């Protein structure tokens, strides 16, 4: 690989050097998940309630963002959107690439989140809504008070997968020149030629954030599932594995996005 001999001390040095760019990575992840959640709910509703034309549009949107690579989506938005907007007289040529990245990742997450919501709502027992209707609740009351809280709990593992997937996907944003962690790593390695050390440092950072997120979601799930202590505990404690493997395992054990929906 590089011309230098491997030296562990550089790993630590690069860890510190990469840390500032973590901000950008997290900014992309969290803003896109937040916007994506709002978009996802909006897109899921027409399909849940079978609203004629909107239902079709939602379907097309979801197919596009789930069916094409995110890299292509990034390029399409970054190069294509300014051209389109120019036609209606809006100049975005000076807008930071970061906005395009966040927009793309938001729409991308929105597609997955809408599917996640659909799946989770369908997984809530039909009898729950019927009991709500039978006591005279309106459709909105039944959805917001009975279905949504249960659907949220059900969707946490898939959602965790989505957020962690998103975190890893942000490494593609460097292709538009964004100096998030991967972009920064590339720049530093081009100068120092210490590829191994820097990519080890980079991997460590991604891994640590993934584990932290995973832990957060497990807690959240436990909280949201406090009404089913037995079921939740059984699911979360694979017997005979040690803690470290359990934590690793749970990241991958979670059924994939497609598998669940």
Partner 1 sequence: MIKLTQIKKSYGRHQVLKGIDLTVEKGEVVAILGPSGSGKTTLLRCMNYLERPSEGEITIDGFTVNCKRPSKSDIHSLRKQSAMVFQQYNLFRHKTALENVMEGLVVVQKVPKEQARKRSIELLEKVGLGSKLDAYPSQLSGGQQQRVGIARALALNPKVILFDEPTSSLDPELVGEVLSVIRKIAREGITMIIVTHEMSFAQEVAGHVIFIDDGMIVERGTPNELFNSPKEERTKQFLKRYTPDGVYSI
For partner 1, the closer CB: 56 or 227: 227
Per-position x/- string for 109-128, each x denoting binding to partner 1 as judged by CB under 8 A, each - no binding? ----------------x-xx
One residue of 68, 95, 96, 138 binding partner 1 per CB under 8 A: 138
Residue placing its CB nearer to partner 1 in the complex, 89 or 127: 127
Site for partner 1 in 200-259 (CB under 8 A): 226-231
CB 230 to partner 1: min, Å: 7
Judged by beta carbon, residue 132 or residue 162, the one nearer partner 1 is 132
Contact 119, 162 (CB under 8 A): no
User: To the nearest whole angstrom, how small is the minimum distance from the Cβ of residue 163 to partner 1?
Assistant: 23
**Rounded to 5°, angle at Cα 69 from 68 and 70:** 115
Indicate the residue among 135 and 191 with the shorter CB distance to partner 1: 135
Residue 232's alpha-carbon distances to 123, 251, 259, in angstroms, are 16, 16, 20
Dihedral sign from CA coordinates of 239, 244, 245, 251: positive
Shortest Å, Cβ 159 to partner 1: 17
Q: Which of 141, 212, 223, 237 binds partner 1 (CB under 8 A)?
A: 141
Interacting residues with partner 1 between 145 and 184 (CB under 8 A)? 145-146, 149-150, 153
Asked if 193 is part of the footprint of partner 1 (rule: CB under 8 A), the reply reads no
Nearer to partner 1, 80 or 229 (CB): 229
Q: Is 92 in the site for partner 1 (CB under 8 A)?
A: no
> Per rule CB under 8 A, is residue 133 in the interface with partner 1?
yes
Spatial distance between the Cα atoms of 111 and 89, rounded to a whole number of angstroms: 29
Residues near partner 1 (CB under 8 A): 125, 127-128, 130-138, 141, 145-146, 149-150, 153, 226-231
């Amino acid at each position: 690989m590089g011309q230098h001999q491997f030296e562990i001390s550089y790993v630590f040095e690069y860890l510190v050097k990469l840390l500032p760019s973590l901000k950008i990575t997290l900014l992309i992840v969290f803003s896109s998940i937040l916007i994506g959640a709002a978009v996802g709910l909006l897109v899921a509703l027409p399909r849940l309630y079978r609203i004629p034309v909107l239902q079709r549009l939602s379907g097309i949107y979801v197919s596009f963002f789930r069916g094409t690579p995110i890299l292509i989506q990034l390029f399409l938005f970054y190069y294509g959107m300014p051209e389109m907007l120019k036609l209606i007289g809006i100049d975005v040529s000076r807008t930071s690439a970061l906005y395009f990245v966040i927009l793309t990742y938001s729409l991308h997450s929105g597609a997955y989140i809408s599917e996640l919501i659909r799946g989770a709502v369908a997984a809530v027992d039909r009898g729950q809504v019927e009991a709500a209707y039978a006591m005279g609740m309106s459709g909105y009351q039944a959805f917001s008070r009975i279905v949504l809280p249960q659907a949220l709990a059900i969707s946490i593992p898939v959602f965790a997968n989505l957020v962690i997937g998103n975190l890893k996907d942000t490494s593609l944003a460097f292709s538009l020149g964004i100096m998030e962690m991967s972009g920064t790593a590339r720049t530093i390695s081009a100068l120092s030629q210490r590829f191994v050390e820097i990519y080890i440092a980079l991997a460590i950072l991604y891994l640590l954030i993934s584990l932290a997120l995973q832990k957060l979601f497990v807690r959240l799930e436990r909280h949201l599932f406090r009404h089913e202590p037995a079921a939740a505990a059984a699911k979360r404690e694979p017997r005979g594995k040690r803690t470290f493997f359990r934590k690793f395992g749970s990241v991958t054990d979670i059924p994939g996005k497609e598998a669940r929906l």
